Structure 1
């Protein structure tokens, strides 16, 4: 029988979330795996079941990315609070996202794409190393995080090299937003600045929904920013409310009901744009609550404790899956293709963590010699 008092027990988030003993890394790895599964379905010509239900961009993959952003909002708000300065905060954020991203661009352009060319044509003759819309321009055009060039003609059948990377621009933009609020002194012991920004974004979302997606139907960038920004803000607000935000099964059940309701209403929307806007107007707080409830659990705290492969899996899964298609992956049973994609993605993620991410993160406390202050003698 269900223990009703235990089910109704709620613990404040600040108490439930132990920074040293939680399941955040396991959760992020699971979310990256869900993105991989959604892409596996699409690569093999199947339809994402949730995307089919909602008729838009609210599918298993993007819902997992919603979870990433909500979790990131919570963690990044904490990262800013723990940083001695805005400059140090931004330095640490850059180290976490940029080195592995840049290496992924280089590896994709000059290792994986040539390999794909060999698998497709048996020769590198005619491979577009340089020039307009080449392997080199793929790196240089996308190096600032905003993906401007998705394809390199003559490779992968003209399909995107890596359709997952576009979200990183919005992630970093959220980092900058938190940094700006912090630099203005609007985050120290205050909740209302984040609540005000969140309310403004929500009002814009509702306005767009009522106006028939007047702006977002013309700008995919704005639509994406509203969606992921809303999720990130929900997580950041949760971080500020952590001492008073109750966490427990009852809250989780309520959040799940709200999330399901958002998906049902999204499925009833007349257009894909409206479907996304309905989801964004209703789901962020529920998504944030559910990922924080799962992430606060200590049960899987050992997963990723030494090697966090979630970021590497996210950025390398797509090109790994594309390469597997060139060796017959399209005809494999879905579980086999998904498992092979996961294995290949994890191997690349392990290489990324070992040789790029972990070494970069060791520099988080580094300060250029010119900026170091002389320390008192004897200290």
Structure 2
């Protein structure tokens, strides 16, 4: 139904020989006049300018096809119109076009057109960590941001239009914060050659696609590779939490290397885990004694070697081989600890940070609860 109230949307921003920068718009309702004062959303802020010419293609020709145009003094909806006016270089495709009437406040209208892009700014991650997103229009940017929100991919920066060097430089700040997020997701936009070369030099990844899902697939594959390589590099520093209890009488070797029969009471025991016993203070109120047992170098159940044993997995217990460093004599069963002592993984502060950063998804709620318990037992700050 035709309405006199103006409804107009910018579809595309184009440079036309002889006309300069123009905008193709869809006039859904109302009337546009030559000389109208218009306000549109721009990359560097709102744009207020005067319509120099209203153009439509020749009859039976398409707006996008290069040809001579028909000039109009006014155009009534609904029509596709090309508008020639000054200062349109930074106009944003997908934004609304408003006409300033005699009783309208131009400043208010400027705020109104900019509300479209400022509302999208609220989707940026408050921590400042995230990918950079670039799209061809406001609408496609909005759709991409919503898809990333649902996919739980944080976004640190947004922009509309082709990718230039300044966009790459802005994204490169993420290299120090979170390298796996130093990525540009570019939807239906061109990437400047200089920008691509700079990105290659700075190790910023640029993913391009015309379909949102393809962008997502490219990013998730890249992110998975980065996370896996990070895990491998940090695996040596990660000590997973576990609580063990000796099986009474199951002592196969009393001193280095200790070979003991144990049950996994909580968490998961892995080969390479350093173990310790925390003994009560000799004097009430005094410090508790932490006895370092050494590192787990082997786990066996029913003569089968195992790399990891989780709580409830080792019915009947497992045989655990524990060795100390070459220069240490090591503790002795019966003198430094007994089968009445609980045995804990020796989790240092650094390891807790590594577990939070790289192994969060591999840890269960019970294991995080055990970490909290170990912090108290081992007095980890």
Q: TM-score, normalised by structure 2?
A: 0.19
Please identify which structure carries the higher strand content.
2
- Larger Cα Rg: Structure 1 or Structure 2? 2
Larger relative CO (CA 8 A, sep 6+): 1 or 2? 1
Please identify which structure carries the higher helix content.
1
Q: TM-score, normalised by structure 1?
A: 0.19
